[in-house]
Chains A and B, each alone.
Chain A
Amino acid sequence: MQEAAITARGAILTRQRINRLALREAMAGYFFILPTLLSFLVFFLIPTISGLGMSLFDWDFFSEPEFVGLDNFSELARDKLFLRTLKNTALFALFATSGNVGLGMFIAIGINSIKWRWLKTFLRTAYFIPFVISTVVVALMFGFLLQESTGVVNYYLSRLGIVRIPWLSSSAWAFRSIVLIDVWKHVGFFTLIFLAGLQAIPSELYEAALVDGAGRRVRLTRITIPLLTPSLFFSLIIALIGAFQVFESMYVLTNGGPGDATRTVVMLLYREAFGSFNMGYAASMAVLLFFIILALTVTQVRLGDRWVFYR
């Protein structure tokens, strides 16, 4: 009885001590996350919630906001220009993502199978360099090189017997050029991610495969590619999220034209917000963009379970 009482008291005491310690730890925890949390609240959470709310209003910054419910969204569904930009953005995301990720993967596999170290390093560096140059500079540079009548690129193409290409002045080509420029800038980044994935593949697997007499192609399709799927999965997700927010190269190079061939959702959003001051309408575009990105990411994660090879 007595003994039991003593241990119970001890337990209470230690519990109190533990509580005090836990409290101290919790306080410390809050202290350490305070800057991040504060910034998160002020520049993310509150703006996001008000952004979501704003999409339900008609507001031009000058007069009182007027609640319109989901009108902005139903207007979006009928807005031909918006649908066009959405289509452009989706196509851009499709082509830029497959270009960046696909090419990045092949370059990485190529670089990885080269035996000379110096060449490996050189190639890795060469492909990565454009990534560190700002998009604006890249766009300005290509804008000059890709001029139709006086551009360098067309000159050399014409020497090769290829007709001059209206790189930035025809609707179809302007769109392609922008995808190409995007791939030029970002492919090295994805190459690096795949190279990292390749290095993580244990060499024993290849050795075992060699013992079994597996050829190059079998090794590629049975070992390399399956084991690269996590990198592929990650690349696809971040490439898509990035591509849906594309803005700069179009803004600098074509300003959305010719016609609306290269106008993206973010360009339209920027103009609606800070050009026409249709704040609510612009907010509804952003919200829709968010839901599209969310849906794509969730779908990818769901589908990823089926094809991504986890060890």
Chain B
Amino acid sequence: MISAASTSQSHLFQPLDPFRDKLRHQWRAWLANAVLALPLILGSLLMFAPLIWAVSFSFGQPHEFFKLPPPVIPSSFRLDNYHGVFERVDFLRFFLNSVVVTGCVTAAQLITCSMGGYAFARLRFPGRRIIFILFLASMMVPQHVTLIPVFIIIRGLGLYNNLGALIVPYATSVFGTFLLKQFFETIPDELEDAAKIDGAGFLQIYWRVMLPLAGPPLATLAILTFNSSWNNFFWPLIFINSAEKMTLPLGMIYLRGQDGVTNSGVLMAAIVLNLVPVLIFFMIFQRRLVEGVTLSGLKGA
């Protein structure tokens, strides 16, 4: 009996075992995943919470800011605070200035960095190594060392309080040149040789052979440049003083100074107005941005 029972049991068990095991395995994998994911999900909520509060307060009325508990969902969706932003400052102007500065800087860097990257990667000329090493070394020098002399140069060029002061010094970047150089070095010589046999000059090789291949690193550079230029604050703080030339970050500080921070709601509305274009940009270029950071990280590593 005993043996029969045990055999019947094992008989019952045996055919189901692989399935059960698989199920159990799946369940355990799922559980492991979930246990792992939970703190990460909670952490990601911490990333979102300030943004959600900012949006919520941007619709709030002054008296609500002192109400505890603070409402997570605003009691009404009144746009007074947003009107308040446009009443106090020319927000659209800040935005356009940011677009112009960022656009010019990004465009200029794409051109200069791809040219420089091409030269360093594919052309031989005396001093190439030395110049490149100097370039790389400059990445370590904080911009504050150059601050005062650059201030004098900018003044000499008549660019003080001019959007040019935010564009010209950033028209090229060592990092971008480096990025493009690394890329151009991976292009096989055959492609270039074929063009040379066809009698192409260096300009044509750069234009016809190299650039068409450089889409991905150029996109990476564009997005990273866009991000840092859009968020630049120190430079405008020093070189821009009139409201009509301010970019968004400086404009935010300017707004804060208006009538002594009377209205936090207005400030929150301006913050939300800042977030929206950036988040849209992020959503559109998310993958490229991630690739860009990844690429720059890998190159460095």
Interface residues of A (CB under 8 A from B): 22, 24-33, 35-37, 39-40, 42-48, 50-52, 54, 107, 110-111, 113-116, 119, 122-137, 140-142, 144-145, 150, 152, 155-156, 159, 184, 188-189, 192-193, 195-197, 200, 230-231, 233-235, 237-238, 241, 244-245, 247-248, 252, 266, 269-270, 273-274, 279, 282-283, 285-287, 289-290, 293-294, 297
Output the least CB separation between A34 and chain B (Å).
8
B146 (CB) vs chain A CBs: closest residue: A47
Q: Are B149 and A135 in touch, CB under 8 angstroms?
A: no
Please give 12 more A-B residue pairs, beta carbons under 8 A apart, in addition to A156-B69, A196-B295: A25-B202, A28-B203, A32-B119, A39-B112, A127-B44, A137-B275, A141-B271, A144-B264, A184-B50, A245-B142, A245-B144, A290-B141
Q: Are A51 and B297 in touch, CB under 8 angstroms?
A: no
Total contacts A to B, CB within 8 angstroms?
273
Q: Are A134 and B33 in touch, CB under 8 angstroms?
A: no
Could you give 24 example pairs across A and B, Cβ below 8 Å? A24-B202, A28-B125, A28-B202, A29-B125, A31-B119, A33-B116, A33-B120, A39-B168, A40-B134, A43-B146, A43-B150, A44-B138, A48-B145, A125-B286, A141-B54, A141-B271, A145-B53, A159-B69, A184-B50, A193-B293, A244-B142, A269-B144, A282-B148, A290-B142
Q: Are A123 and B298 in touch, CB under 8 angstroms?
A: no
Q: Given the complex of chains A and B, what is the CA–CA distance between A248 and B234 in angstroms?
A: 7
Q: Are B47 and A126 in touch, CB under 8 angstroms?
A: yes
Q: Given the complex of chains A and B, what is the CA–CA distance between A302 and B135 in angstroms?
A: 21
Answer yes or no: B209 CB below 8 A from chain A CBs: no
Q: Which residues of A contact B202 (CB under 8 A)?
A: 24-25, 28, 31-32
Q: Given the complex of chains A and B, what is the CA–CA distance between A140 and B253 in angstroms?
A: 9
Q: Given the complex of chains A and B, what is the CA–CA distance between A192 and B230 in angstroms?
A: 21
A59 (CB) vs chain B CBs: closest residue: B148
Output the least CB separation between B98 and chain A (Å).
10
| Residue from the list B57, B119, B227, B253 in contact with A33, Cβ < 8 A | B119
Main secondary structure of the interface of A (DSSP, over half): helix
Q: Which residues of A contact B281 (CB under 8 A)?
A: 132
Q: Are B142 and A293 in touch, CB under 8 angstroms?
A: yes
Q: Are B149 and A29 in touch, CB under 8 angstroms?
A: no
Query: Known contacts A51-B145, A197-B297, A238-B300: does B113 contact A247 (CB below 8 Å)?
Result: no
Q: Given the complex of chains A and B, what is the CA–CA distance between A99 and B168 in angstroms?
A: 35
Q: Given the complex of chains A and B, what is the CA–CA distance between A156 and B206 in angstroms?
A: 59
Q: Are B149 and A193 in touch, CB under 8 angstroms?
A: no
State which residues 20-76 of B face A: CB under 8 Å.
Answer: 29, 33, 36-37, 39-41, 43-44, 46-48, 50-51, 53-54, 57, 65-66, 68-70
B5-13, B171-179, B212-220: which lies at the interface: B171-179
Q: Which residues of A contact B126 (CB under 8 A)?
A: 26
Output the least CB separation between B297 and chain A (Å).
4
Q: Given the complex of chains A and B, what is the CA–CA distance between A116 and B26 in angstroms?
A: 13
Q: Are B230 and A134 in touch, CB under 8 angstroms?
A: yes
Q: Are B47 and A130 in touch, CB under 8 angstroms?
A: yes
Q: Please indicate which of the listed interface residues B144, B171, B238 has the most CB atoms of chain A within 10 Å of its own CB.
A: B144
Q: Are B298 and A26 in touch, CB under 8 angstroms?
A: no
